[in-house]
A and B are shown apart, each in its own frame.
Chain A
């Protein structure tokens, strides 16, 4: 009611405004925090991890975590069937998961944006061919296509990453193409074209920066999806191969012990869930902060 409340100095500036909307979403900040912690753990894995991820202690097979009956303080999350420390393997596993996400997103974003930009900018026959190709990729369930691709390329982490990037590609192509097509006809682009800007300049300097917001959001979601897919491939035995401490692969190894040792199954999955959840929380925050449509109210 007070009249003073209705007055404030100046409208907030760009970056400050972005941070304002992002930080107003408490979930997003929480996600960012968790992600940073996981990132630090992954980088400092050799310093943080209490044991080597491959060190086997024959005297401590399937040891329960410290808070359960029979747990030991040296193995906070217990040990696996060959006596390796689960906590250490999880910390090292974070390196793989984040690395997979980074590589997959980089590969699919760079190639997807290029292809989508070409399709949306030039339209016509090029566009039709590209979109038909993408339709073909989308006609397969993503995990099945990745699985078959890995079968062709041979199981392993690198091939899994290539396969997942390829499966992710159509989403970036479609998204970029759609944004480019809406921006292409806008006055500022026409203006720049009339002013004599070349094709490449129009594509990369004029149009592309204005299509970034949805791409950033999609890239975040693709990051978490890549971690999930790589873990799924690992779980099916087609991703990283044992004894790599990749979380999905760890789950696959632990499967036969689900009735006897719940912790070998629970913790790797929990690590996947928390990482993916943190990234998705950030993605939601980014979307709210970057999407002007949802900003008001």
Chain B
């Protein structure tokens, strides 16, 4: 049994104009020692599904799932108290905005020590020793001096290192990193990613890395899951995804990477925006922006099998050619011949 297994997770929020479905039937697994990356634009429900897993969504969120298991525990039936003994200890999370994720009113040492006291029951001296050790681990120079600092005295990169140290305090089995580098400078981004991957290897943790940056995915992940408008649209090992994306959305995302641009040509972009609450189409949610969309796509959409990366597409791509497409595949095949 994998360390983490989620099946058919749906999260909905009540809003003034009805229910808003932020996550729509997402499934995922992640095992010890593995890095799973979840990719998608903002608003694709990546963070929300992980917050649901951690139990950090506001009380008005409606969470349903067929299965939500972590480390042999059924998170759906766990009481609030039991769940709190798991999160922060075996399952930890770091967030997008390191500067605002640390409490401005408490010192770094206090915020680190709090977790250690709660889950490990360490005494004052032991907490201090472990805190220094942790800060060293995440590459903070002169950790003894940092313990008395307030968050506003530190840079963004430094804050994110402290956040990582806090998450690692109790040697978690699973670390969820929600866009850990988005708010940071480019040079710092690479350092933090390197640090995360190193710590993941050393501790043998499972790491779920949420990002919208394909570059980050390419550098770190082993398996990638692509999300669009709350739905999982494709899942593949990272090499396969980059060489042969099966969903038109994945293909379009990759095509818009500057690294893949053909010199002298305009960088392709995806027309339109992710559908919001008020303009959700019927059928395939990507159909309004898809070059291959047909009337069938605007009515309904079917998920493909594992050989097409479970792509949620009626005409999954094979080396850029939509399989079974009424016009395009013939036309393109004809061109080839």
Contacts and interface: CB of A to CB of B under 8 A. Distances in A.
A and B touch in the complex (CB under 8 A): yes
Interface of A: 1, 5-12, 20, 24, 297
B187 interface: no
Contact of A6 (B16, B18, B58): B18
A5 B58 CA distance: 20
A24 to B, nearest CB: 8
Contacts of B21: 6
Nearest to B276: A11
Nearest to A4: B18
A175 B277 CA distance: 35
A20 B16 contact: yes
B278 A9 contact: yes
A297 B64 CA distance: 20
Given A6-B21, A8-B18, A297 B277 contact: no
A297 B58 contact: yes
B60 A297 contact: yes
Contacts of B277: 6, 8
A10 B10 CA distance: 24
Contacts of B12: 1, 6
B20 interface: yes
Contacts of A6: 12, 18-21, 277, 280
Contacts of A9: 278
A297 B60 CA distance: 9
A12 B15 CA distance: 13
A158 to B, nearest CB: 46
B17 interface: yes
B16 A7 contact: no
25 contacts: A1-B10, A1-B12, A1-B64, A5-B18, A5-B19, A6-B12, A6-B18, A6-B19, A6-B20, A6-B277, A6-B280, A7-B18, A7-B278, A7-B280, A8-B17, A8-B18, A8-B277, A9-B278, A10-B278, A11-B17, A11-B278, A12-B17, A24-B16, A297-B58, A297-B60
Q: Counting chain A CB atoms within 10 Å of each CB, which of B16, B60, B64, B280 scores highest?
A: B16
Rank and list the top 9 A-B pairs by shortest CB-CB distance, nearest first: A8-B17, A5-B19, A6-B21, A5-B18, A11-B278, A6-B19, A7-B280, A8-B18, A8-B278
A1 B20 CA distance: 10
Given A1-B64, A6-B21, A297-B58, 11 more contacts: A1-B12, A5-B18, A5-B19, A6-B12, A6-B18, A7-B278, A7-B280, A8-B17, A9-B278, A11-B278, A12-B17
A285 B18 CA distance: 22
B27 to A, nearest CB: 18
Interface string B76-91: 0000000000000000
A293 to B, nearest CB: 16
A8 B21 CA distance: 13
Contacts of A10: 278
B227 to A, nearest CB: 17
